[in-house]
Structure 1
Amino acid sequence: MRATGIVRRIDELGRILIPKEIRNTFRIKHYSSLEIFPDHEGKVILKKYSPVKELGQLAEEYVQAMNQSLGHTVCIADKDFIIAAAGANKKRLLNKQLNPEIERLMEERKVKLYAQPLSLTVNESVISSSVIIAPIIVDCDVIGAVIFAATEQDVKIGQLEFKMVETAAGFLGKQIET
């Protein structure tokens, strides 16, 4: 990436102001966690930190197990992207940016059943007829979500699916805490 030509000074508390345009471009929100990497050439690299991505293989195996059990699409997302998916639309969902409506539902901090047609990702033609969203909460912060998506119109979502998604979010939250 080329330099943008923006120069910032470090204040007496060691803070650097990141311009709003850059924060908007990279979707860096207030209180976002950033990793700091020093480079051997004297560069300092900032990278958005996602604790959900740390789950890696566990997240992938968990969604596969839930998909085999429930028979529908199951995803695990951080606050911006779907990081693990299993089901019919796996390839179309994996590593795609979340729909802002999903982000809004995550921030409500409750397990939600969305019984209207909804796209899981931005600019995506995969529409789910019903969606359950369970936020993954760690240390009182929403860091991601477990998403169950039924694509067939006449699927009845019951208490079993609701509780499985809620349990998955709770389990993954505990895994990240430890």
Structure 2
Amino acid sequence: MKATGIVRRIDDLGRIVIPKEIRRTLHIREGDPLEIYTDRQGEVILKKYSPIGELGKFAQEYAESIFQMAKYIVCICDRDNIIAISGLPKKNLLNKKIGPQIEKVIENRRTVVGDKSTGNEYTLLVDEDEDLFVCVISPIVAQGDPIGALILLSEDNNIKITDNEVKIAEIGSSFLGKQMEQ
């Protein structure tokens, strides 16, 4: 654990303010859920909670099913990291941080299509040199909140995306959002 040197007091309602610098560094946004852990030494640990991360194995199986049918590389991510991947070795992308363009698409709650001819290109990861073309990004929304995305990728950057791929991604992300609401 890394000490920050920052000390804060708890107010009369039991609240504590997490400094802006820490929130910015850890990408904690207003309204983000945090899990609270304690240990025997009296430490209180706050950890970003990923509701879609709870799907774990289910998200992986779902990604594999879409890959088998659509033949596109499939990523499922929360608002920070890739939590499931199919179509590539898992070590290549699993648990890697998504790029700011993907974060913005998730926040905007609208499906986007990558199109090299119009310059509408998206970078999947932060600080990674990748040879993947982001074809479709479809945000996963549960109870009105954007919680992640289903992303179709290809190793061929000249691929033409049809309405079928867009519908596959939108149906998949909608289904995952409904799973999270149950």
- In structure 2, the partner of 1:63 is 63
Q: Which moved more, 1:10-19 or 1:120-129?
A: 120-129
Say whether 1:91 aligns with 2:95. Answer: no
Is it true that 1:75 corresponds to 2:79 in the alignment? no
Q: Is the 8 A contact 2:134 2:151 kept in 1?
A: no
Q: Is the 8 A contact 2:97 2:125 kept in 1?
A: yes
The answer as to whether partners of 1:119 and 1:125 remain within 8 angstroms in 2 is: no
1:114-136 CA-partner distances (Å, limit 9, x unpaired): 21343210122224334211111
Q: Is the 8 A contact 1:73 1:87 kept in 2?
A: yes
Matching of residue 125 in structure 1 with residue 129 in structure 2: yes
Deviation track 1:24-46 (CA, whole Å, cap 9, x = no partner) reads: 22221121110112222211111
Could you tell me which runs of 5 or more consecutive residues in structure 1 were left unpaired when the two chains were aligned.
none
Q: 1-side partners of 2:2 and 2:178: how far apart?
A: 39
Corresponding residue number in structure 1 for 2:37: 37
| Residue matched to 1:104 | 104
Report the aligned-residue RMSD.
1.5
Question: Which amino acid letter does the alignment assign opposite residue 166 of structure 2?
Answer: F
My pick for the range that moved more, 12-21 or 87-96, is: 87-96
State the Cα deviation string for residues 52-72 of structure 1 (Å, max 9, x = none): 100010000111111111112
When the two structures are aligned, how many residues end up with a matched partner? 178
TM-score normalized by structure 2? 0.91
Give the Cα–Cα distance (whole angstroms) in 1 for the partners of residues 163 and 150 of structure 2: 16
Corresponding residue to 2:169 among 160, 165, 172: 165
- Per-residue displacement from partner, 1:113-165 (whole Å, max 9, x unpaired)? 12134321012222433421111101111000000112213322212111111
Q: Which residue of 2 aligns with 1:145?
A: 149
Supply the distance in 1 between the matched residues of 2:94 and 2:124 (Cα, whole angstroms).
11
Q: Is the Cα contact below 8 Å between 2:123 and 2:134 reproduced in 1?
A: no
List 4+ stretches of structure 1 deviating above 6 A: none
After TM superposition, the score normalised by the length of structure 1 is 0.93
Percent identity, aligned pairs only, is: 47
Task: Summarize the Cα distance change of 1:37–1:153 in structure 2 as closer, same or farther, 3 Å threshold.
Answer: closer
Give CA deviations for 1:64-98 in whole Å, capped at 9, x if unaligned.
11111111211000001111111136432111111
When residues 150 and 2 of structure 1 are mapped into structure 2, their CA distance, relative to the original with a 3 A threshold, is: closer
| Aligned residue identity for 1:54 | E
Find the counterpart in structure 2 of residue 174 from structure 1.
178
